[in-house]
Amino acid sequence: MNHPLEYLHHATFGISLLGVLVIIFGVLCGVVRFLRSEVSAVRGTNVEGERRKLRQVLGYYLLLGLEFLIAADIIDTLMKPEPRELIVLSAIVAIRTVISYSLNSELAHETPHTNRTATP
């Protein structure tokens, strides 16, 4: 019979995998948007709005993927709360917080600018 913590270990692996897949999906969407905007730019179209949207979409998927990864780390650490694991988790949370704050701040600064250009 399997131990309940073994199921949690499988769950954290699944959550981590989901986080990685979200990031990969976001990067693939970003590559498609990037290539489309660059083709448009070569044709002489103004693509500043498309580039801002690309950054927003990519930032969104990066943040979402990071949220899944940190959730998996938290659950994993709670299963074996050793001092070393808690220090590693604290460092991961700190790094993720800085990245999340930076991305959110950058996206928030770009969003009003995009809305102004969309208004006639």
Q: How far apart are CA 56 and CA 38, in angstroms?
A: 17
Residue 37 token pair: 């905007």
* pLDDT (tens digit per residue) in 44-56: 888 888 888 888 8
Contact at 8 Å (CB) between 6 and 27?
no
Mean pLDDT of the region 101-106: 76
Q: Which is higher by pLDDT, 42 or 5? A: 42
Q: Which of 31, 80, 36 is nearest to 57 (CA)?
A: 31
> Rounded mean pLDDT of 3-27?
88
CA angle centred on 79, ends 76 and 81, rounded to 5°: 95
Task: Check residue 111 and give its pLDDT.
Answer: 56
H/E stretch holding 78: helix 48-79
- pLDDT level of residue 2 (50, 70, 90 thresholds): low
For residue 44, the SS3 value is coil
This prediction's pTM: 0.71
Model confidence at 26, pLDDT cuts 50, 70, 90, reads very high
Q: Is the pLDDT of residue 4 over 90?
A: no
Residue 22, Cβ density class (10 Å: 0-12 exposed, 13-18 middle, ≥19 buried): buried
